Structure 1
Amino acid sequence: MKLALIIDDYLPHSTRVGAKMFHELAVELTRRGHQITVITPDIRSDKLVTTECLDGVTIWRFKSGPIKDVGKISRAANESLLSLRGWKAIKNSIQPETFDGVIYYSPSIFWGGLVKKIKKCCDCPAYLVLRDLFPQWVIDAGMLRQGSIFDKYFRIFERYSYKQADRIGLMSEKNLEIFHVDNKGFPCEVLRNWADITPFDSFIDNESTLRERLHLNNKIIFFYGGNIGHAQDMANLMRLARNMSIYENAHFLFVGQGDEVNLINNLAQEWKLTNFTYLSSVSQSEFKRILSEVDIGLFSLSARHTAHNFPGKLLGYMVQSLPILGSVNVGNDLLDIVNTHHAGFIHINGEDDKLFLSAERLYAEQTLRISLGKNAYALLEEQFSVVSAAQNIEMRLEAENAVN
């Protein structure tokens, strides 16, 4: 099949997990014999559209205003224009035979218009990979008032995006349940997050290690990598770092970007933490290298969440056989998945004492870290491989085409 993959952020310039996941999907679909064209915005180019190739994947980048790491009003305005700008850039390249299917990723919720036009022109089905229930998570975080004019505005685009999908894939059973409460009638299923399960082979060159550069050679490194924002409740992990400061060789390394970078740095300064290091975003290759050097993978989800996310960063941890340590909102089925498979320790956000005790165990017991890490990789193989995700989406699109 000739497939269009639509996402608001993509490699090689992006450092975000969603961009990495979508590229892994594109590469796997290419390996399976499909022709893949990624359609994505580009804030760096003055041209209406540019074409390039990465790992056998064709990429159409269309001119756009900034939608990442900018003010909320500017981001909302530029995201609202994504479909309009995207179609304007590519419409002359779209013929009835151009695509046999569309796969689009949310967030963003503003792809409905572009997907509808491609579907109409090519008479093809679409699959929505739905990761965040926006704007609900923003309401949960207290950043947007439910029923406000902005909420109603976003809901219009959210519903319009859902209506273009012949199938919607959500990341967990609990998310599926929550989605059906307010969105009855849409064809949905569980589509787990995914990853290429090949571990990174570190230090095949002569580059210095992260431990050498940061003087952490004898440390047990608790690592957080990814978005540092309100949805993560980073103060939760900073409290853990403060509690673990009694252990000389425990060190916390955070790498990423987001709205709470100033918060974590200010807390580190206020609490005089000497066991904490923050680094801004790095390239995907450097991120993989870092994962190959650390000991424990951290994550956190805000207690205010009503949705039940499976953070993509966990997949990176699992690829490198890292034990997982983190906190989730009440009812999140991620807790049962990880704890039942003995892939790490997950607690309810706010259970600081339990989180600390688990951190102490992971710090002190190397054999426990190794055992949980192996189980994490086994869980990845079983439920979160990119091969499984590609097979599922491929099957759904082929079935829809057969009906048509």
Structure 2
Amino acid sequence: MNILFLTLARITTLDERGIYTDLLRKFRNEGHHVYIVSPFERREKKKTGVVQESGATILNVKTFNLQKTNLVEKGIGTLAIEYQYLNAIRNHFANEKFDLVLYSTPPITFSKVISFVKKRDNAFAYLLLKDIFPQNAVDMKMLRENGILHRFFKQKEEKLYALSDTIGCMSDANKNYIIRHNPKIAESKIEVNPNSIEPIRAEITTEERIAIRKKYELPVNARILVYGGNLGKPQGIGFLLETIKATTAEEVFFLVVGSGTEYESIRKWFSDQQPTNAKLLKGLPKNDYDTLLRACDVGLIFLHKDFTIPNFPSRLLSYLEMAIPVIAATDPNTDIGQIIEKEKCGHWVISGDNTQMQNAIQAICSNENCEMMGANGWNLLQREYKVDHSYELIQKRIQNV
């Protein structure tokens, strides 16, 4: 089977680890031919072209800057990308016939590309729904509800959902939200296909843990609570900083690792406040981050309290993979916290509730069952969030056509 994967993520090789590369590698290992369309952002100063890498064919398309740029260029780039991808596919994959076109949100502006491939090749279209836009932008006050831009992007969203033969949602709450807010979509084509990875069991000795902590100048004997990933407005970073400031327990140390639109404001806060119980690190390469994560004790998840859509951050999988307990501070609409508590692999608090957060930190730091919670998390990962499961769901949909 020939598979075309459309993404805004920069993919250079299937040897990298991540929710998309792990799934695509599974397809490759099962004998399928994987084709990837990925952006060459303007700042890279490279031309559109095709490369063969790690058993996949990667079409790098020159685009505007899409990440870490101003809103104007990002907006123009998001609108232009479907035409850029469409032209590149016509020029470079004219003689290829695709059986499956796989794509994720963001963006929601791939409709013309998907429509073209479906019509030309009679391909099956499968959407991996990782982002519910434009409602998330409305929640974050980035778009005015029922304004011109909101209505425009809402039409784009509806078109994408209509074109998709199957919509794979990250959780039950995601699925129920899509069904409830999109009554024109047949429920039969909506399923739960969560974030998934190819997990590797991380073993670490006491000596290795100490060496890693010393390398990054972290306290050797403290209980380290780590937040790793995107540092943006959707993460409700303000509450993370409030939590650091409010935590007085001497044995607790916070490690913040990442990059994003809020990084500079966080760096300034660290510079002004000079917290003795926390450290900020710029985003690390995946392998380095995973190594650092092995030396931490508790994983943190933060989401903005104003979200009405049920987000499900993929960073949860990194914590489960490292078999460390999790504290999730989220809005009440996502089910990630309920899953964490049901599976007894951590604690859930409502974002902005300082009392709940301090209680959770105290509980997890004084709890002798932390190792058991980590083991529960690893078992949850094996049971629900492996790429084998996502692969089988997609295969089943195609076979039933």
Taking structure 2 as the reference length, what is the TM-score of the superposition?
0.92
Query: Of the candidates 364, 369, 390, which is equivalent to residue 362 of structure 1?
Result: 364
Contact 1:211 1:293 in 2 (8 A): no
- 1:217 matches 2:220: yes
Structure 2: how far apart are the matches of 1:121 and 1:353? 57
In structure 2, the CA distance between the partners of 1:48 and 1:11, relative to structure 1 (3 Å rule), is closer
- 1:87 matches 2:86: yes
Q: Where does residue 52 of structure 1 map in the other structure? A: 52
Structure 2: how far apart are the matches of 1:90 and 1:96? 10
For 1:120-269, what aligned pairs fall within 5 Å after superposition?
A: 120-186=119-185, 187-200=189-202, 209-244=212-247, 246-269=248-271
Contact 1:223 1:254 in 2 (8 A): yes
Structure 1: how far apart are the matches of 2:233 and 2:62? 29
Contact 1:49 1:90 in 2 (8 A): no
In structure 2, the CA distance between the partners of 1:121 and 1:185, relative to structure 1 (3 Å rule), is same
Structure 2: how far apart are the matches of 1:287 and 1:398? 38
Q: Where does residue 40 of structure 1 map in the other structure? A: 38
- 1:279 matches 2:281: yes
Shift of residue 96, structure 1, vs aligned partner? 6.7
Structure 1: how far apart are the matches of 2:284 and 2:213? 12
Structure 1: how far apart are the matches of 2:47 and 2:380? 44
Shift of residue 110, structure 1, vs aligned partner? 1.3
Contact 1:95 1:121 in 2 (8 A): no
Answer with 176-185 or 234-243: which moved more.
176-185
**Which amino acid is 1:117 matched to?**
F
Structure 2: how far apart are the matches of 1:200 and 1:217? 19
1:65-90 per-position Cα deviation (integer Å, ceiling 9, x unaligned): 11011111110100111111112122
1:5-52 per-position Cα deviation (integer Å, ceiling 9, x unaligned): 1110133599xx9x8210010011112221111111111252222323
Where 1:209 maps in the other structure, the secondary structure is: helix
**Which amino acid is 2:193 matched to?**
L
Taking structure 1 as the reference length, what is the TM-score of the superposition?
0.91
Q: Where does residue 25 of structure 2 map in the other structure? A: 27
Structure 2: how far apart are the matches of 1:4 and 1:202? 38
Shift of residue 287, structure 1, vs aligned partner? 1.6
- 1:399 matches 2:393: no
Q: Where does residue 3 of structure 1 map in the other structure? A: 3
**Length, aligned pairs only:** 394
Shift of residue 202, structure 1, vs aligned partner? 5.8
Structure 1: how far apart are the matches of 2:22 and 2:341? 27
Q: Where does residue 384 of structure 2 map in the other structure? A: 383
Query: Of the candidates 303, 312, 332, which is equivalent to residue 314 of structure 2?
Result: 312
Contact 1:323 1:373 in 2 (8 A): yes
In structure 2, the CA distance between the partners of 1:181 and 1:213, relative to structure 1 (3 Å rule), is closer
**Which amino acid is 2:338 matched to?**
D
Shift of residue 132, structure 1, vs aligned partner? 1.0
Structure 2: how far apart are the matches of 1:250 and 1:83? 47
Where 2:216 maps in the other structure, the secondary structure is: helix
In structure 2, the CA distance between the partners of 1:51 and 1:208, relative to structure 1 (3 Å rule), is farther
Where 2:26 maps in the other structure, the secondary structure is: helix
In structure 2, the CA distance between the partners of 1:315 and 1:68, relative to structure 1 (3 Å rule), is same
Contact 2:40 2:48 in 1 (8 A): no
1:139-164 per-position Cα deviation (integer Å, ceiling 9, x unaligned): 11122110112212222322222222
Structure 2: how far apart are the matches of 1:92 and 1:262? 41
Percent identity at matched positions?
24
Unpaired runs of 5+ in structure 2? none
Shift of residue 97, structure 1, vs aligned partner? 5.1
Structure 1: how far apart are the matches of 2:334 and 2:64? 35
Structure 2: how far apart are the matches of 1:165 and 1:200? 37
- 1:118 matches 2:120: no
Structure 2: how far apart are the matches of 1:282 and 1:271? 24
1:202-254 per-position Cα deviation (integer Å, ceiling 9, x unaligned): 6999x96244332422221111111111111011111111122x223321111
Q: Where does residue 322 of structure 1 map in the other structure? A: 324
Where 1:81 maps in the other structure, the secondary structure is: helix
Contact 2:50 2:92 in 1 (8 A): no
Query: Of the candidates 289, 292, 304, which is equivalent to residue 291 of structure 2?
Result: 289
In structure 2, the CA distance between the partners of 1:177 and 1:215, relative to structure 1 (3 Å rule), is closer
Structure 1: how far apart are the matches of 2:330 and 2:306? 10
Structure 2: how far apart are the matches of 1:200 and 1:74? 41
Of structures 1 and 2, the one with the larger relative CO (CA 8 A, separation 6+) is 1
Where 1:214 maps in the other structure, the secondary structure is: coil
Structure 2: how far apart are the matches of 1:35 and 1:236? 45
Unpaired runs of 5+ in structure 1? none
RMSD: 2.4
Structure 2: how far apart are the matches of 1:60 and 1:37? 8
1:324-377 per-position Cα deviation (integer Å, ceiling 9, x unaligned): 112111132222211011010011112211111111222234x32211111111
